[in-house]
Structure 1
């Protein structure tokens, strides 16, 4: 008598299904934990200053974290497919420099110039993806080289001094309020909603996860690992360009180093948020939590007047602690301990 793969109650659960459910559970716990750390840090910040811990500080954190979230989303997709994008800083600069130079303080052509800038950035991402997939250049080397080339082009285009001003419409948007909440926060919430669906629930996101988990198995399943990987780099580059456009509107101008402060934090936000640096596992909500944690920490350290050197050391220590505490192995050990207590 042959064994059936189904029981009277429904489909049988395979070991693979069990492992997947445990991984998803660990990822969910990591996301909850990172937001818990953010809340705890905001509440504890009252010890630094009575002005901290209130709605105004939360508003500031969300406002500043928005820029990091925009570029970290694309970085997260690249990491999901076992890559790394070191060209983000230069592409942020490119987005800011082109938007201010081409708009020149006017709204004329806004609705075709900005899409053209994003398309140009995406095409640069395609170049990075092609180098990684077709020519087997390590992502670290390929994206670093692309970043150097893009920065050099920005330097030549501006002759060392970016000129022009952002569109007044964009500048007003970055300063506007809707229902007493800054417009960039509404933009952040909309971006998080779209990004969560795209990475976690769409066919595109599931395919990226499959490629990151096992490229060979994905190929056997009929997925084009090369095309998906190139798409991830294109999205990352476009997100970096968008970040540069919004940063220039926020600061009312562009600088040649405006993207430098977002390169390493974009990677840290993804990893601290529970994504695996080896690919195949990640949550955009976790990345958002990681960005909020890093921004909260930076805000508190700045209020304390700590020097940049010590500030960098403390940020690194917090990231290391978060990575240790939020490891999947830690959650597995806790779950095993809880199961042992229940049996006892």
Structure 2
């Protein structure tokens, strides 16, 4: 008779006992990865005087905005113990729909853009329902959804998506306000909102609880099924919006526009300190990981290295970052601080 209440009480207290450690890990992880970005940017000036300038910083932030938005959704899915492999197809879906349906730049674009996001969110809902109620592993379910969406886009467009960028998307990615690109201002706003959602809301706490222990969360009264499904919906909507951003940036859509973002979206989440098994991670860490990967990519591209060598260097730096951000390192830093 007393076992269930005791479990509930002990579970509800556990987030409080881990809160200071989580905050410390968030600060250390985000700061460490940000410091690596700064060192890479300024160190690149020794390679070429054109590197490390404000122009390059602006380029990194604009290009990084795609990965930050995408990694936010991926991070929520990973936080609850899942994995979303459908992101490339949903990026393409968002891009193809926004260019094809709203490419004539008429006033209806403001009404159609949310419809495109809802369409992408509906695909994410399908993935979440399959994972939760059909018990299909997230890896298999999202991969199957990705194949279906990509094949449908290929069939509908005939291999050649039509349409141009809607005015509102072009303005978001190319216009300036007070000397700052709108896309950078949007990135800052998105980071603040994403951090608040993941770290300062009841829904965010529920996701941590589900990722840590599903059964304990269920006993504590957490709506487990809803909390496991919604991250897939948010992730799909974020991917669709990234497709829109890419359309505004490049003034068109392609069927392979999302292919280069799947592995970086996972790497950004893991480099930022999240556990691939769920229950641990922060959005600020994910943002740092996304900016790190984008910084690395722009520097390597500016140097003009071959694709194979670029991949090797990127893999080595990701591995080093993961080794430096292991739990053992954080435990030692906390022990030193306590002394």
Measured against the shorter chain, the TM-score band is over 0.9
Q: In 2, distance between residues paired with 1:223 and 1:334?
A: 33
Please name the residue that 1:182 is paired with: 181
1:275 aligns with 2:274: yes
Please name the residue that 2:115 is paired with: 116
Please name the residue that 2:167 is paired with: 168
Q: In 1, distance between residues paired with 2:288 and 2:267?
A: 11
After TM superposition, give the deviation of residue 169 of structure 1 in Å.
2.9
After TM superposition, give the deviation of residue 104 of structure 1 in Å.
2.5
Please name the residue that 2:305 is paired with: 306
Task: Show CA shifts across 1:72-94 (max 9, x none).
Answer: 10000000000000000000000
Please name the residue that 1:216 is paired with: 215
Q: In 2, distance between residues paired with 1:337 and 1:61?
A: 35
Please name the residue that 2:20 is paired with: 21
After TM superposition, give the deviation of residue 48 of structure 1 in Å.
1.6
Please name the residue that 1:154 is paired with: 153
Change (3 A) 1:283 1:19: closer
Secondary structure of the 2:279 match is coil
Q: In 1, distance between residues paired with 2:23 and 2:279?
A: 12
The 5 A counterparts of 1:113-262 are 113-262=112-261
Q: Which ranges of structure 2 fall in alignment gaps of 5 or more residues?
A: 1-12
After TM superposition, give the deviation of residue 20 of structure 1 in Å.
4.1
Does structure 1 conserve the Cα–Cα contact (< 8 Å) formed by 2:169 and 2:247? no
* TM-score, length of structure 1 as denominator length: 0.92
Secondary structure of the 1:53 match is coil
After TM superposition, give the deviation of residue 19 of structure 1 in Å.
4.4
Q: In 2, distance between residues paired with 1:286 and 1:239?
A: 18
CA RMSD in angstroms comes to 1.5
Change (3 A) 1:38 1:98: same
After TM superposition, give the deviation of residue 117 of structure 1 in Å.
0.7
Secondary structure of the 1:198 match is helix
Does structure 2 conserve the Cα–Cα contact (< 8 Å) formed by 1:128 and 1:143? yes
Please name the residue that 1:78 is paired with: 77
Secondary structure of the 1:312 match is helix
Q: In 1, distance between residues paired with 2:273 and 2:194?
A: 16
Q: In 1, distance between residues paired with 2:14 and 2:246?
A: 47
Change (3 A) 1:114 1:195: same
* TM-score, length of structure 2 as denominator length: 0.93
The 5 A counterparts of 1:1-80 are 17-80=16-79
After TM superposition, give the deviation of residue 21 of structure 1 in Å.
2.3
Does structure 1 conserve the Cα–Cα contact (< 8 Å) formed by 2:212 and 2:280? yes
After TM superposition, give the deviation of residue 335 of structure 1 in Å.
3.1
Please name the residue that 1:92 is paired with: 91
Does structure 2 conserve the Cα–Cα contact (< 8 Å) formed by 1:199 and 1:206? yes
Q: In 2, distance between residues paired with 1:169 and 1:238?
A: 18
Q: In 2, distance between residues paired with 1:173 and 1:317?
A: 34
Does structure 1 conserve the Cα–Cα contact (< 8 Å) formed by 2:79 and 2:281? yes
Task: Show CA shifts across 1:28-75 (max 9, x none).
Answer: 211111111111111111112111112111111101100111111000
Q: In 2, distance between residues paired with 1:22 and 1:249?
A: 41
Secondary structure of the 2:215 match is helix
Aligned residues: 327
Q: In 1, distance between residues paired with 2:195 and 2:168?
A: 28
Secondary structure of the 2:135 match is coil
Secondary structure of the 1:130 match is helix
Secondary structure of the 1:32 match is helix
Change (3 A) 1:17 1:99: closer
Does structure 2 conserve the Cα–Cα contact (< 8 Å) formed by 1:94 and 1:150? yes
After TM superposition, give the deviation of residue 18 of structure 1 in Å.
4.5
